[in-house]
Amino acid sequence: AQSVSQHNHHVILSEAASLELGCNYSYGGTVNLFWYVQYPGQHLQLLLKYFSGDPLVKGIKGFEAEFIKSKFSFNLRKPSVQWSDTAEYFCAVNLWYSGGGADGLTFGKGTHLIIQP
Amino acid sequence: GAVVSQHPSRVICKSGTSVKIECRSLDFQATTMFWYRQFPKQSLMLMATSNEGSKATYEQGVEKDKFLINHASLTLSTLTVTSAHPEDSSFYICSARDSSQGTDTQYFGPGTRLTVL
C-alpha cells in the first residue's frame, strides 16, 4: 500500500520568511498528488494538485509545489509567508487507474505551520 | 469551487445507539464519495469508498456492518455508525469526487464530530 510522509510536524516561521514543506510518497505507479490546507476551525481546502504535465504546479494564495518523480517527492513552497498562512498542511496521494478514475486519498500526518507576526 | 456539506456538524449520542451522517455535493454530481476518519492531532484515514448505485468498498480493518454506507443519489451519501461505542468517537469527514473537468479532485465536507457517551 502507498504511504505518504511529511518530514516536519511543526514549523514556526516569521512573516516574510520562505517556506518549504517536505512530502515523500512510497508508490512507484501513476499517482495524483495534492496539498490540502486546514485553517483553524475550518474544513480541508485544496491548495494545489498535480496530475500530469509540468511538474511545477501553482496553487492558490501564492503556493507552489514541485513533483520530482525520481525522488518520489512533492514539496510545497511559498517564497514569503503571511500570518494568515498559519494552518495545518496535508500532503495526499491517490492512484490513477488505467481504466480511468482514482481511489481514495492517502494522507501524510500533516504539518502544523505557525507564522509569527 | 465545489461545495460539499455534512450534517450534522456535531452529534452526541449514548452508547449502543446508531447515528446517521449525511454528505451532500451541492453544486456537482458525484458518483463517488469517500469517508474518512480523523483522530485528534492525527491525519485523515480513509474508511470506505461510496459508489452511487452499488455497494461501498471498505478499507482493511473497517467493519462494514458497523459503518453502513448508502449512496442513494448522485449528490448524497450517508454513513450510519451502528451500535456506537465510545471508541467510535471521532471526527468523520466525507469528500466527493468531481470528475467533470477531466481531472479528478476530491472536495471535502466540514466534518462531523461524533461523541459517544
Q: How confident is the model at residue A2 (pLDDT cuts 50, 70, 90)?
A: confident
Contact A46 B107 (CB under 8 A): yes
CA distances from B15 to B26, B40, B84, B92 (A): 32, 20, 5, 17
The per-residue pLDDT for range B18-47, each reduced to its tens digit, is: 999 999 999 888 889 999 999 877 889 999
Optimal mutation site among B33, B104, B107, B113, interface A, most CBs of chain A within 10 A: B104
Mutate which: A43, A106, A109, vs B, most B CBs within 10 A: A43
| Residue B114 vs residues A21, A77, B55, B117: alpha-carbon distances, Å | 31, 35, 24, 10
What is the rounded CA–CA span in Å between residue A115 and residue A85?
A: 7
Q: Please give the helix or strand (H or E) that residue A19 lies within, else none.
A: strand A19-21
Q: Report the residue from B43, B104, B111 with minimal CB separation from A102.
A: B104
What is the rounded average pLDDT of the residues A46-74?
Answer: 94
- Give B48-62 pLDDT, tens digit per residue: 999 888 889 999 999
What pLDDT is recorded for position A29? 76
pLDDT reported for residue A7: 87
A61-86 confidence digits (pLDDT tens): 999 999 999 999 999 999 999 999 99
pLDDT at site B72: 84
* Nearest residue to A19 (alpha-carbon basis) of A117, A67, A85, A74: A85
Q: Would the CB atoms of A105 and B46 count as touching at under 8 Å?
A: yes
For residue B103, is pLDDT > 70? Answer: no
Of the ranges A23-37, B6-20, B94-108, which one carries the lowest mean pLDDT score? B94-108
- Rounded to 5°, angle at Cα A41 from B22 and B111: 15
Which residue did the predictor score with more confidence, B104 or B82?
B82
At B101 the pLDDT is 65
